[in-house]
Structure 1
Amino acid sequence: MARKIGSRYTAHQILGRGSAGTVWLGEGPDGPVAVKLLREDLASDEELVGRFVQERTALLGLEHPHVVSVRDLVVDGNDLALVMDLVRGTDLRTRLERDRRLAPEAAVAIVADIAEGLAAAHAAGIVHRDVKPENILLDMQGPLGPGGSHRALLTDFGVAKLIDTPKRTRATKIIGTPDYLAPEIVEGLPPRASVDIYALATVLYELLAGFTPFGGGHPGAVLRRHVTESVAPLPGITDELWQLLVQCLAKAPASRLRASELAARLREQLPTLAGMPPLDVDEPDPEQEEGEGEPAETAPSASSPSAPSGRVRRGSVPLVPGAKPDSNRDTHTSMRVPAPDELAGGAHGTARVPRAAGAPRPGSARNRSATRRRRITLGVAAVALVAAAGIGTWAATSGDDAGATPQDTKNSTPASP
């Protein structure tokens, strides 16, 4: 059913839903548009409406081939909406759900597109704050790029900032999606451009591996890993690409590349990645974290691309342990910042080490079983060795005593005091 959005736009069909609102296929004076209609409770928030109007100039002025442009902002009664360019294609999450992982050349080309879009946004003083596959759109109408990739565009600029009002998000809350949050956000520091670089590097890792470097399990465990764990190497990628990933996933924001630098370095990598097939790595086995009450979700292995019954692929994780993944493409998740003692729970670096397909993961049940068998074998061997040494000593001593003279025996007896 069609509905009017302000005086200039008509929304015809729902394209998707998220935690911030609903995206409609709409029509405006200049043709088809996408209309993001924010929730009614957001529209009734006077403070948020004020921020919405304040951001109008910055958002409308952001024009770039790899950014979904905001054409208009509508404030009309209970309607609060962003009118955006319509991209005829799909989002990157849908592509990942279909293909599980991409060939390195295509993955790098997509991320380079988004890095260029971020560079333009950062130059305009805008931080996205929620870079993730759900917010990356693939234009299926345009020509193909390196590795058969579609042109990528970043959407939902400004939504996180608009929703993140002091009243709505207290000091004990954070805005974002757990798998892609930079460590400084987890620790309560203000978001700067470097948080987008960290999130985009996480997306690149996910495109290559099929899973995020610190995701899986309870959200608190995910947040802790961002702060305490180092990223585990991906077997099969070039050293140059790996070094780029490591630098952009650095815990210290100042160590990360700027968006323009990242885009240029990624473009330089494309010739060396041409023709390289998708990586053949197994996802780390989910394990129940120490101190957590619920086990982590599981995901299919590289040899089983379809998810078994009762299991979910890892992308973003549900907030409620055991809950089904949200099919509505939630854009923002508000959760409590973990206390220092929770963050000090210790790293579990071996729990998330990717490995070549079929190889046991250090710390896994399979690996622990093998380790136990080796220990038992070594223990039995040690006992046998000690026993053999004891028998040899007894035999040597018995032989000496048998050939000893009475004088020798007397000399071997300690003198009386």
Structure 2
Amino acid sequence: MDTTVLDPLLGQVVDGRYRVVSRVAAGGMAVVYEAVDERLDRTIALKVMHPWLATEAEAVNRFIREAKSAARLSHPGVVSVFDQGRDGDRVWIAMEYVDGRNLRALLRDRGRLGAAEALDLIADVLAALAAAHRAGLVHRDMKPENVLIADDGRVKVADFGLARAATAASSTRTDAILGSVSYLAPELLERGVADQRADVYAVGILLFECLTGGRPFDGETPIQVAYRHVHEDVPAPSSRVAGVPAAVDALVARATDRDPDGRPDDAGALLAGLQAVRDSLGPADEPTELVRRGGPEPAPTRPGPRPSPPRSGPAHLRSESTSRQPVQRGAQPRRRRAVRRRRALLGAVVAVVLLGAGLFWYAGPLRWTSAPTLAGLTESVAAQRAEQAGLDLDVRREWSETVAAGEVVKASPAAGERVLRDGTVTVVVSRGPEMIRIPVVSGKAPAAATAAIEQAKLVVGRSVNKYDEKVPQGQVLGTDPAAGESLRVNRPVTLVVSRGPKPVPVPAVEGKPAAEAEKALTDAGLTVKTTEAYSESVAKGAVVSQSVAAGKGLKRGTQVGLVVSLGPPLVQVPDVIDDKVSEAVEKLEAAGFRVERRGTSILGRVLGQNPDRGSSAPKGSTITIITV
């Protein structure tokens, strides 16, 4: 039975404006309908929240956040939001209607994509995400279901329901992480935090799936998949599918680095790297219509009315009737008529000759000549050729990325076409590539620096971070190439952003007396927090461990924790990996430990523990469990 027949919204008008036509899709939060905006007479997608969720404030807030997040973005690769509101117990969003399918359906039909085709598709996804990242938004739920491919080849990113401001995303509540486990970054699984680099990781998984037709990790339970994302590197696509270029393997590896600092800073930086890899591959082996770069093809022009056919039949062939002349009598009238006929014939011959001469002058070699070949010549040589042909030269100048300065780009009329003698040929002479001077952006915020560079008709290719003792963290130090240098239009410029003062290395103090260890840390510019614990191997009063490994760099003033030995005893730590959280807490507390939980609550199981399973720790000390 077609369940859509029973849908009570079909045929109804929501908010007095949107007439529901058909049911398109249903999810855990809402149902999407095809509807008609009766006010503007256009087809839209109407997303209506499930009635049982409309009473939950958090669900409604998330639903409204989706509308606001997408509405903030003005990009052809983001599904547009037109309107949002509430009609009784119905909470709804009116959106752009995309007639097509999602990436999941495409991969289900196709299995996998070729390298060039996959890079072209992911480039469009990254362009949309880059717009979101520039606006300070993190999508947080990138997966094939949220990549829409219209029938005309356009690619659009949908469902910003989990999107949050980048500043808020760093402290996301764990109970709000609802994305699919297979696309979540390790830091999101471990700590419940995310920034733009979490979207970069998810897009790396999307690219892997496009190239191979499958996800990098599988398991019998979601906890097993999550564990592998945290503890294993994403395999190279070429290990699954032969023939994937090494540059594409490297791109996937960089995007899916388990350490967020090893990934590109945002979607724009990943897009720049992807475009470089795509250019190195050359054209696809076979043409594809998957992603049309020029937009939809124009509709064919309707032919104009055909000219009326010539008249046929007797009426068209019939000559005009002649009047009968009276019979002239006498020779003299006949001679006058003969003279008049000869004069008329002579006049007709003269007229024909003059007409022929005129036509010969207008259409023949005396009036017209052929335009010489000027394209590709220097301006001086082109002027000589035009003069030799008896033509004037009208010179116009334009920037050109492909033709050297001073050479003719094109001529009108073109070589071999007809031109009036003593006429004019118009040529466009190259001024060479347009060179843009890089503006001074040091001291600006990255967003302001990006705007200034784009206003100068250049683009920001990527951002790199560099330590600096004077410029505050987050401000732009400069550019590469440097300000004042010149580049061609739309060439990439690298932003160099300050990371603040260079961190100081942490001294090694384990095994040293507590007083000596504290002095070494304070002399290095760090602060110290001391705790005590039992130890069978470290003498009482000596440092058992330090919270930050020796040699690691920290900002001045950062606190380093020291554990000072109280002597034995130690207790073996139980193994709670993959246990339910409640069972793990009960087992650890029964062994005499305190328990501290970190991570998320998506699956309710333990992903890791510290100290590790099988190790020993002082009785009464704290065991940290990582939950997911």
TM-score class, shorter: 0.5 to 0.7
Matched residues in 1 for 2:233 and 2:247: separation? 18
Report deviation, 1:133: 0.8
| Residue 154 in structure 1 maps to residue 163 in structure 2 | no
| Residue 44 in structure 1 maps to residue 51 in structure 2 | no
CA contact (8 A) 2:223 2:607 kept: no
CA contact (8 A) 1:12 1:25 kept: yes
Residue segments in structure 1 that go unaligned for 5+ positions in a row: 142-149, 163-168, 278-290, 294-333, 346-417
2:221 corresponds to? 218
CA contact (8 A) 1:13 1:25 kept: yes
Secondary structure of the equivalent of 1:106?
A: helix
CA contact (8 A) 2:15 2:86 kept: yes
Q: Identify which of 48, 64, 72 aligns with 1:61.
A: 72
Q: Identify which of 25, 35, 55 aligns with 1:26.
A: 35
Q: 1:97 to 1:10 in 2, by over 3 A?
A: same
Identity of aligned residues (%): 33
| Residue 227 in structure 1 maps to residue 236 in structure 2 | no
1:265 corresponds to? 273
The code of the aligned residue for 1:182 comes to A
Report deviation, 1:54: 6.2
Matched residues in 2 for 1:51 and 1:91: separation? 22
Q: Identify which of 99, 107, 115 aligns with 1:88.
A: 99
Q: Mapping of 1:1-400 within 5 angstroms?
A: 1-28=10-37, 29-30=39-40, 31-50=42-61, 52-53=63-64, 56-141=67-152, 150-159=153-162, 171=174, 174-235=177-238, 236-257=243-264, 258-271=266-279, 272=281, 274-276=283-285, 335-336=602-603, 338-341=605-608
CA contact (8 A) 2:70 2:78 kept: no
The code of the aligned residue for 1:233 comes to A
Matched residues in 1 for 2:162 and 2:176: separation? 16
CA contact (8 A) 2:578 2:605 kept: no
Matched residues in 1 for 2:176 and 2:59: separation? 17
CA contact (8 A) 2:116 2:284 kept: yes
Secondary structure of the equivalent of 2:137?
A: coil
The code of the aligned residue for 2:27 comes to G
Report deviation, 1:276: 4.8
Report deviation, 1:251: 1.0
Report deviation, 1:186: 0.7
Matched residues in 2 for 1:6 and 1:159: separation? 26
Q: 1:211 to 1:160 in 2, by over 3 A?
A: same
Q: 1:53 to 1:337 in 2, by over 3 A?
A: same
Matched residues in 1 for 2:13 and 2:215: separation? 40
Matched residues in 2 for 1:203 and 1:54: separation? 24
Report deviation, 1:254: 2.3
Report deviation, 1:52: 4.9
Matched residues in 1 for 2:262 and 2:89: separation? 44
Secondary structure of the equivalent of 1:335?
A: coil
The code of the aligned residue for 1:94 comes to A
Matched residues in 2 for 1:337 and 1:244: separation? 34
> With structure 1 as the length reference, what TM-score do the two structures score?
0.61
Secondary structure of the equivalent of 2:145?
A: helix
* Alignment length (residue pairs): 279
Secondary structure of the equivalent of 2:94?
A: strand
Report deviation, 1:51: 5.6
CA contact (8 A) 2:43 2:97 kept: yes
Of Structure 1 and Structure 2, the greater helix share is in: 1
Report deviation, 1:240: 1.9
C-alpha distance after superposition, 1:367-404 (max 9, x if no partner): xxxxxxxxxxxxxxxxxxxxxxxxxxxxxxxxxxxxxx
Matched residues in 2 for 1:261 and 1:160: separation? 20
Residue segments in structure 2 that go unaligned for 5+ positions in a row: 1-9, 166-171, 287-576, 580-600, 614-628
1:284 corresponds to? none
Matched residues in 2 for 1:246 and 1:115: separation? 16
CA contact (8 A) 2:236 2:252 kept: no
CA RMSD of aligned residues (A): 2.9
The code of the aligned residue for 1:341 comes to G
RCO higher in structure (CA 8 A, sep ≥6): 1
C-alpha distance after superposition, 1:145-202 (max 9, x if no partner): xxxxx3211011135669xxxxxx9746731112111111111332221111111110
